[in-house]
Amino acid sequence: MVVSTRVSPVTVGLCIMLCLMAATVHGGEVDGMEQGDDGGHCPDGYILNDESCYRLEESSKTFTEALDTCRREGGQLVTIDSSEENDVVTELLLDARQPSTEWAWIGLTDRETEGEFRWLGSSDPPSFTDMSPVIGNDDTVDCVLITPEFGWAPLYCDGYAAFVCETSVIK
Ligand SMILES: [Ca+2]
Ligand SMILES: [Ca+2]
C-alpha cells in the first residue's frame, strides 16, 4: 500500500478500521517455553528477547481491553525503549502475516496531555520514538499502534486492534 503525504489522518484511520473489521480472528499458536542463557524463561506463548518476553495477540481488542489482557498475564502492553526493541516487536507483526496484525497496540498514549506521549505508568518522555510523520495526532486519537509500514500512529482508544504484551523474564 502506497500512502502519499496528502492522505488525511481520517482516511488512514478509516482504512485501519475497515482492515480490522475485515480481518479474521485467528487463535494464537503457543510456542514452547524459551530458555534464556541464564536459565530465565518466558510464560507459554511469549518469545524471549534480551531481558523481556513478548507476545503478539492476534485477536482485536480496544486499548483498555488489550491492557487488561496483558495485566492478567502478569505483564503490560509493550514499552519500546530502543530501535532494537522496536525491531523485535515489528518482526512479531511481520512473522504473523495476518491481516489483523498489520497494526497492534503498544503501551503509549497521550490521554493525559494532548501531544505529550507517555508510556503507561511513566511520567517521563519516551527515550525512543518511531512516531509516523505521515499520520496526524489530535485529541480524538490518543492511543498508539505500531505498524511495520508507518511506524507508530495514534488511533481512537476504543478502536479495535491486535496488541503486544511484554512481561519480565521468569528467573
Ligand atoms: Ca520493553
Ligand atoms: Ca492525541
DSSP-assigned states of every residue in 121-171: T--SPPSS--B-SSS---TT--EEEEETTTEEEEE-TTS-EEEEEEEEPB-
Give the number of whichever ligand sits closest to the CA of residue 135.
2
| Distance from residue 26's CA to the centre of ligand 2 (Å) | 30
**Annotated domain spans of the chain:** 34-168
Residues 146, 101: Cα–Cα separation, whole Å? 10
Residues 5, 31: Cα–Cα separation, whole Å? 40
| Distance from residue 23's CA to the centre of ligand 1 (Å) | 27
| Distance from residue 95's CA to the centre of ligand 1 (Å) | 19
Place of cell 496483558: 70
Q: Compute the chain's Rg from CA coordinates.
A: 16
Burial letters 31-67, b for 16+ CB under 10 A, else e? eeebebeeeebbbebbbbbeebbbbbbbbbbbbeebb
Q: What is the number of residues in the chain?
A: 171
Task: Dump pLDDT digits (tens) for 51-101.
Answer: 899 999 999 999 999 999 999 999 999 999 999 999 999 999 999 988 888
CATH fold of 34-168: Mannose-Binding Protein A; Chain A (3.10.100)
Mean pLDDT of the 99-120 span:
95
Share of the chain above pLDDT 70, in %: 77
